[in-house]
Structure 1
Amino acid sequence: MTSEVLTPQEALEKTRQVLKDYPFIKVVAVAGPGDPLANDETFEALELIKNEFPEVTLCLSTNGLALPDRIDDLLRVGVSTLTVTLNAIDPEIQAQIVDHIAYKGKSYKGVEAAEILIKNQLEGIRLAVEAGMVVKINTVLIPTINRDHIVEVAKKVRELGVFIMNIMPLICQAKFADMEPPTNEERKEIQAICEPYVQQMRHCRQCRSDAYGLLGKDLSQMSEERRNVIKMESIKKVEHEE
């Protein structure tokens, strides 16, 4: 979810304002619209930001379908941290989650679509790790579909050299609107099972894609008064460090 979609120039201006107000922010990420690798504007925005703020870490979130084809573009614009959503490595299971894809001008369905998606996801992850990117895997826990399979995902991404895995609870909407989300206990149980294979991220709050702030502190959702207090604290801290 997002409150608005920004053009590349608007993204640069937004970054300018946020970093001016909150200089402690060190990461800028792109999460859409749709899959960011399908939009040339993604790379234009990232390039504009990197040119003006070379010290900022650039991050991108993707479903990985186009990752092998666009890995060189990501490296060119300076993306160093990558999040890939990988919900299954078994095509039969993946086909229950993603029932079709559009890839290189063609539409694919069912298991065939799942096979293409998984192949590209795993190849893209391998290429990103080899290129020196820090790779995080997002896996959505869907109790009746991939609950018992997620450990296999963890084992596979460990082989590929993934840094960390974020197991996220299903948001019940669209085709999953009638499904029950997993409990916190269920998610913790799966995290514990996967922990021996890949480090688990436990502080995710599933924030909006245009959120900004700190872990557990979404400044974009705070009152103007509270944001101003944090802004002044941030400026004083930076001045003290200098």
Structure 2
Amino acid sequence: MNNKDDKKMSHFAHVTQAHPCFNEKIHDKVGRIHIPIAPKCNIQCGFCTRSLNDVEKRPGVASCIMSIDEAMNHIRKTVKSMPINVIGVAGPGDSLCNPNTLKLFRKVKEEFPNLILCMSTNGLLVPKYADEIAEVGVKTVTITVNAVDVNIGSKIYDNIEYGGRIYHGVEGFKILLDNQLKGIEMLSKRGVIVKVNSVLIPGVNDKHIKEIASVVKSKGASIMNVLPLIPMNKFKDYERPGCGMLSEVREEVEEYLPVFRACTQCRADAFGIPGKKSDDFSLDLVPNSHY
């Protein structure tokens, strides 16, 4: 192992010791803040329905969209009241499809330099913004990769908006996949830790996720998270995968990458300690939170 690899492993160890979405041992001990500052999205996943509401407990949902100033005030208040290690943007749309995401990170880095900056994205625009992501101080990026086979991927994604055009089917998925894999490689080379999320869709990609793990590892991904489908949109009639299927797929993935198993599939405005009922909140639970 050379000095560059030693430095990367040291950086990875530091982040995993402090990030509740990378380390199951601290998942119920330290908190994160998801800032709902990114409403727009540039793809349509077959299982996704974005929404502003106070009811659903899932990704793609928030009770409001914050401005940068509102987000900073929310962060200031929250870090005073509970242990927070991470500031993340996870929607309710795509982080990189919204300019305020990176603008917010610049402000957070300046005022709270010890907090880990984290973002989730579909990966379509990562190659365009990889340098800026690293420059603003983002330490971890989660990219959702649900297929590395065009025939499978084209069944999962409906529309890909890229370069001022909308693409469909295999053509659209090829653009998405190429940018996802290029983005993983670019971020990894810039010292950003990449976690890959894959949504397990029974009968569609359940036999394919092991291959995803192999490919994304070769591009520089460090850890993987296999999530059960929440039946919605065109997959609304599919069954949510059970524990047996999830365990089997996760064990296959572990042949290539470590697997994070404690994800609670949070709202885009969640904050506090994940999965700990007394200390995990979303903005709908906070008086006067609708900015």
Give me the TM-score of the superposition, normalised by structure 1. Answer: 0.88
Q: Counterparts in 2 of 1:153-232, with a 5 A limit?
A: 153-217=212-276, 219-221=279-281
In the alignment, what sits opposite 2:154? 95
User: What per-residue deviation string (whole Å, max 9, x for no partner) do you get for residues 128-181 of structure 1?
Assistant: 111111110000000111010101001111212211100000011111111111
Q: Which structure dedicates a bigger proportion of its chain to helix? A: 1
User: What per-residue deviation string (whole Å, max 9, x for no partner) do you get for residues 186-224 of structure 1?
Assistant: 0011001111111111111111121112242252439xx
Two-structure CA RMSD over aligned residues (Å): 1.4
Work out whether residues 203 and 215 of structure 1, in 8 Å CA contact, stay in contact via their aligned partners in 2.
no
Which of the numbers 61, 73, 95 marks the counterpart of 2:120? 61
What runs of 5+ residues in structure 2 fail to find an aligned partner? 1-60, 287-291
In the alignment, what sits opposite 1:47? 106
Runs of 4+ in 1 over 2 A off after TM superposition: 218-222
In the alignment, what sits opposite 1:145? 204
Q: SS of the counterpart of 1:217?
A: coil
- Tell me whether 1:82 sits opposite 2:144 in the alignment: no
Larger radius of gyration: 1
Q: Provide the C-alpha distance between the structure 2 equivalents of 1:97 and 1:108, rounded to a whole number of angstroms.
A: 14
- Tell me whether 1:21 sits opposite 2:87 in the alignment: no
What runs of 5+ residues in structure 1 fail to find an aligned partner? 228-242
- Tell me whether 1:104 sits opposite 2:195 in the alignment: no
In the alignment, what sits opposite 2:186? 127
Work out whether residues 172 and 180 of structure 1, in 8 Å CA contact, stay in contact via their aligned partners in 2.
yes
Q: Provide the C-alpha distance between the structure 2 equivalents of 1:4 and 1:157, rounded to a whole number of angstroms.
A: 33
User: What per-residue deviation string (whole Å, max 9, x for no partner) do you get for residues 13-44 of structure 1?
Assistant: 1110110111x211100012411101111111
Bigger drift between 203-212 and 89-98 goes to: 203-212
Which of the numbers 61, 64, 74 marks the counterpart of 1:4? 64
Work out whether residues 30 and 59 of structure 1, in 8 Å CA contact, stay in contact via their aligned partners in 2.
yes
User: What per-residue deviation string (whole Å, max 9, x for no partner) do you get for residues 86-110 of structure 1?
Assistant: 0000111100000220001011110
CA spacing shift, 1:43–1:143, aligned 2, 3 Å: same
Give me the TM-score of the superposition, normalised by structure 2. Answer: 0.74
Give the paired residue count. 222
Q: Provide the C-alpha distance between the structure 2 equivalents of 1:221 and 1:43, rounded to a whole number of angstroms.
A: 24
Work out whether residues 273 and 280 of structure 2, in 8 Å CA contact, stay in contact via their aligned partners in 1.
no
- Letter in structure 2 aligned against 1:115: K
Fraction of identical pairs, as percent = 42
Q: Provide the C-alpha distance between the structure 2 equivalents of 1:184 and 1:207, rounded to a whole number of angstroms.
A: 19
- Letter in structure 2 aligned against 1:137: V
In the alignment, what sits opposite 1:236? none
Q: SS of the counterpart of 1:82?
A: strand
